[in-house]
Structure 1
Amino acid sequence: MMMGWTILTIIPAILLISDTALFPLLPLNSLSAEGLFWLTSSGTAPYGVATVLLILLLSYQRLGRAEFISLFLTISLGMCTTLGLNHYLKPFFNEARPNAVWLEQQYLLNTENFYTLSKAERKAQMTASLERLEHAETDMVLSPLVKQHWKNEVGFAFPSGHTLFAITLTMIASYYLLLAGNLVLPTILFIWSITMGFSRMLLGMHWSQDVLASTVLGGVISLFSLFFIHKTFPYGAKLYTDLSAKLRLKQLTLKP
């Protein structure tokens, strides 16, 4: 799990150090862009709720009752922490999104004025900017799904709430699943987390530093949530002790 977290952290760190921007590299009217939209939607309400429920259902089929209760409590704590932290940090850092900066470079938006408006007013101004974009001298063309995404995502950039959500959920679920001997679902979750970060950058929603910071924060929140639940409730400690004993017994049995 820690190796996976390290890999997830290294990728946006390389992009940040090399000063590589992924937006606007991808044609946003392509099937790939629409695929990334649906991927990123798995971390957006209400689809994000469905994602959590699906992971809980799959975990319920693979864990014992005590272990599942511990997983449920840890995910609940982790998700509440990420939501609260994301809500506090965005207005604190007041960072413009890459797509808003790009629109400003095309003289279609004023970010200084844009982020002083209410959310409803920002949506209206973004809609007007995108209408002018259709007649501007630029190669940028948005698919209807991506255009709607830009209209809805008008908040600040830092941190990436989607990445924070994906990393926290992946780390917590993978901890319990790996202890239960399941490798397939954690692998799928880590791939989902990586592509979630890429989708946010390619769609013009976040900078590499946003994804990097969210990856680090997601890991810290996961470790804190696991530690807190294990200290507060006996299920986690019992799970670790029982599975460790079974693993040691299996290793002794396999020795010639």
Structure 2
Amino acid sequence: MPSVIFPLMLGWLILLIIPGILFVSDASLFPWLSLDSTTAEALFWITSTGTAPYGVASVLLILLLSYRRLERARFFSLFLAISLSMCTTLGLNHYLKPFFNEARPNAVWLDQHYLLNTDSFYTLSKAERKELMMTAVNQIEFADTELTLAPLVKQHWQHEIGFAFPSGHTLFAITLTMVASYYLLIAGNIWIPSLLFGWSIAMGFSRMLLGMHWTQDVLASTFLGGIIGLVSLLVIHKIFPYIGSMANKLLTLWKPIKPS
């Protein structure tokens, strides 16, 4: 067990260090990248793996890969841990965003270029915000700025009109990575956890580079995602024996009675 926990915690530490350095150095990744480039479109597809409905497909893919590599009981434990962690992540993200009431970097940038008023923007309904964001995005080309958006990035800006903190995409990626990697490492698989940690890093960078989140959003979400993942593992580890026992009893009760 210690041999599994150590690489898991080390990976989480690395994930924390990257946005931590950016936060301490007060570095901002937006609008550093040209948002009409192929790289920006690639980042859009990375960030889409954490956006509904593609986020569901990401979970199903990890479950499929894990199913082929884990024992049935361990896979069931993984399924429960992922279910618990995802529900916790969604609930926390839904509660914290309106609580902190933080404007996204792209909205602040639009405000600075007199294309949007963030003070009134976040008081509007979701439908009104979408309409206003669409108008602001379409006016970028006429503003005194060199920023241009690729069609996919423009579409993403028009879709993401909620508050910034925390980064739901980062929470999703980190939590899923921590939980799945734990079970896969126990099974002796290294390459899938490695890919998952790389995906989590790319997810955080995509959110910052596309103007969706500040560095503190990604840093805090990386920390919270790790905590949620570890607590979910602990909870499922504690209650799984009881769940397994109940399942066996139900199977015994439902087992067809053979005719004498």
Q: Scaled by the length of structure 1, what TM-score is found? A: 0.91
CA distance in 1, matches of 2:169, 2:139: 29
What is the RMSD of the two structures over their aligned residues, measured on CA atoms? Answer: 1.2
TM-superposed deviation, 1:212:
0.4
In the alignment, does 2:239 pair up with 1:232?
yes
Q: Write out per-residue CA displacement over residues 72-128 of structure 1, whole angstroms, 9 at most, x where no aligned residue.
A: 000000000000000000000000000000001101110000000011100000011
Aligned to 2:34: 27
Distance change (3 Å), C-alpha of 1:184 and 1:70: same
Give the ranges of 4+ consecutive aligned residues of structure 1 lying more than 6 Å apart after TM superposition: none
SS at match of 1:91: helix
TM-superposed deviation, 1:234:
2.0
**What does residue range 160-239 of structure 1 map to in structure 2 within 5 Å?**
160-234=167-241
**Equivalent AA in structure 1 for residue 208 of structure 2:** M
In the alignment, does 2:106 pair up with 1:104?
no
Name stretches of at least 5 consecutive residues in structure 2 with no aligned partner: 1-7, 245-260
Instruction: State the aligned residue count.
Output: 237
Name stretches of at least 5 consecutive residues in structure 1 with no aligned partner: 238-256
CA distance in 2, matches of 1:230, 1:128: 50
Distance change (3 Å), C-alpha of 1:236 and 1:40: farther
TM-superposed deviation, 1:236:
11
TM-superposed deviation, 1:134:
1.7
Distance change (3 Å), C-alpha of 1:145 and 1:41: same
Of 55, 59, 83, 1:76 maps to 83
In the alignment, does 2:43 pair up with 1:36?
yes
CA distance in 2, matches of 1:173, 1:68: 10
**Equivalent AA in structure 2 for residue 191 of structure 1:** G
**What does residue range 38-187 of structure 1 map to in structure 2 within 5 Å?**
38-187=45-194
TM-superposed deviation, 1:66:
0.4
In the alignment, does 2:42 pair up with 1:13?
no
TM-superposed deviation, 1:53:
0.1
Q: Write out per-residue CA displacement over residues 44-88 of structure 1, whole angstroms, 9 at most, x where no aligned residue.
A: 000000000000000000000000000000000000000000000
TM-superposed deviation, 1:235:
8.9
CA distance in 2, matches of 1:132, 1:227: 50
**Equivalent AA in structure 1 for residue 217 of structure 2:** D
SS at match of 1:167: helix
Distance change (3 Å), C-alpha of 1:11 and 1:236: farther
CA distance in 2, matches of 1:134, 1:21: 23
**Equivalent AA in structure 1 for residue 10 of structure 2:** M
CA distance in 2, matches of 1:206, 1:2: 25
Asked whether the equivalents of residues 66 and 235 of structure 1 are also in contact (C-alpha less than 8 Å), the reply is no
Q: Write out per-residue CA displacement over residues 204-225 of structure 1, whole angstroms, 9 at most, x where no aligned residue.
A: 0000000000000000000110
